[in-house]
Amino acid sequence: MTQAFQKIAAIRGMNDLLPGDSARWERFEDLVRDWLRGYGYRNVRTPVLEHTRLFTRGIGEVTDIVEKEMYTFTDSLNGESLTLRPEMTAGIVRASIEHNLLYDRPHRVYSIGPVFRHERPQRGRYRQFHQIDVEALGLAGPDIDAELIVMLARLWKRLGLTDVRLELNSLGQPVERAAHRAALIAHLEKHRDILDEDGKRRLYTNPLRVLDTKNAAMQEMADSAPRLFDFLGEASRAHFDGVCQRLVDAGVDYRLNPRLVRGLDYYNLTVFEWVTDRLGSQGTVCGGGRYDGLIELLGGKAAPAVGFAIGMERLLDLWEQTLADEGRQPACEPECDVYVVHQGDQAQRLAAQAAETLRDAGFSVVVHAGSSGFKSQFKRADASGARVAVILGSDEVANRTAGVKFLRGAIEQESAQQQIALDRLAEVVGAALSTK
């Protein structure tokens, strides 16, 4: 006896997007692309698979991402270590170096796509998730840091989000961080007895990340630790003041958070997060900052850079909660503008021809597949969300006409169905679809 084949499910934490959800994502992505065009950002696309050393070098070997979360494997053909990208910035910087993108001028670029981290799946945190990644490469001033933050405030406004707040900090420059690091290690050594395992492991490798602890028993110790902000020199403070002043100019509120360090080693100067209380423990919707040393670190000619990443799943979740609070839902995208129903072999052939004529005129059209009664075809037409149904039967074939039924919209009330000549079909459908 043949053993029944066990159904294969998606990998835990890697979710399918079915047509209804995917249409909502596409509409959201269109909105995002329009927003980015308003600031002069252009699209770049990099591979989801990169050499592992790109991330260990760029992100930092003692970060959570590199130590615990990367999907890494050995290529069986050449023995190279490869990794599914856990974030996009390193890949974009690698591409800019490889293709000499900054040879003649700075670039504002963005990318939208999946990233991968081996985490425990929960709301807002998945093993495959999607990011909107925005980078300003070759631009150094506080005006650019502020522009990125202000453009995010514009996106929240466009989406109607009010429950997002900005947290801001400066990580200074390497020499300032080195002085702070020495003072911080001395502070942590005095409190070694209350450090958890992560804290002890990071004490000498990445002490700044110890302050980002969620362990309640360590909060008082973290709050009393030396603040990096107090070690900033004149230039770093001036840069931060410049960012803050421009945010005030734009009417963007912020909160200084001296413990905000972000989870990646490449940041310097400005770092920021937009956070919310509406997504449970995964409250960061967007995070970013300046990373002036990364291009040189990855083998390029030294150049400044700043950017941010938005978690799409979290932002969509927050947006839909906001719409629900207002008693609204994201508009459902119809499958097509026009649904063609037919009866008989000749009518089916004519339906295919009529549909091509309508597509030539710029309409999306579905022709009912197979043969079934008009009643079931009209049920399917209504379910498709089409505003117009075109009806073809034996009489229409003989007379070279078509029935046009208006399924929804204001015109539906004026005329349930019209008989028109086939050569006027695109004209009549166009008039119906232009009526709200």
In a domain, 129, yes or no: yes
259 pLDDT tier (thresholds 50, 70, 90): confident
Number of domains into which the chain is organized: 2
Is 414 found in the same domain as 310?
no
Of 26-30, 134-138, 190-194, 334-338, the range with the highest mean pLDDT is 134-138
Buried b / exposed e over 259-286, threshold 16 CB at 10 Å, is bbbbbbbbbbbbbbbbbbebbeebbbbb
Is 313 found in the same domain as 391?
no
Is 396 found in the same domain as 248?
no
Domain that holds residue 420: 338-433
Per-residue pLDDT, averaged over 43-54, amounts to 95
**pLDDT the model gives residue 184:** 87
In a domain, 275, yes or no: yes
Per-residue pLDDT, averaged over 196-223, amounts to 81
Helix runs in 116-250, H state only:
142-159, 174-190, 197-202, 207-210, 219-223, 234-250
Domain limit, last residue, from 268, 296, 325: 325
What is d(CA 132, CA 309) in angstroms, rounded to the nearest whole number?
A: 6
In a domain, 204, yes or no: no
pLDDT more than 90, % of the chain? 57
215 pLDDT tier (thresholds 50, 70, 90): confident
CATH number of the domain enclosing 73:
3.30.930.10
Is 167 found in the same domain as 260?
yes
Contact, 231 vs 179, CB < 8 A? yes
Is 167 found in the same domain as 243?
yes
The interaxial angle of helices 142-159 and 312-325, nearest 10 deg, is 40
**pLDDT the model gives residue 330:** 64
CATH number of the domain enclosing 394:
3.40.50.800
**Residue 310: left (phi > 0), alpha (psi -120 to 50), or beta?**
beta
Selected residue with higher pLDDT from 11 and 63: 11
pLDDT tens, position by position, 320-370:
888 888 777 666 778 899 999 999 999 999 999 999 999 999 999 999 998
- Quick check: 413 pLDDT over 50? no
37 pLDDT tier (thresholds 50, 70, 90): very high
- Quick check: 94 pLDDT over 50? yes
Per-residue pLDDT, averaged over 245-263, amounts to 89
Is 36 found in the same domain as 96?
yes
Is 151 found in the same domain as 53?
yes
Is 240 found in the same domain as 142?
yes
**pLDDT the model gives residue 1:** 59
In a domain, 25, yes or no: yes
- Quick check: 6 pLDDT over 90? no
pTM: 0.85
pLDDT tens, position by position, 278-304:
877 668 899 999 999 899 999 999 999
In a domain, 391, yes or no: yes
Is 296 found in the same domain as 373?
no
2 pLDDT tier (thresholds 50, 70, 90): low
Is 378 found in the same domain as 258?
no
Contact, 136 vs 89, CB < 8 A? no
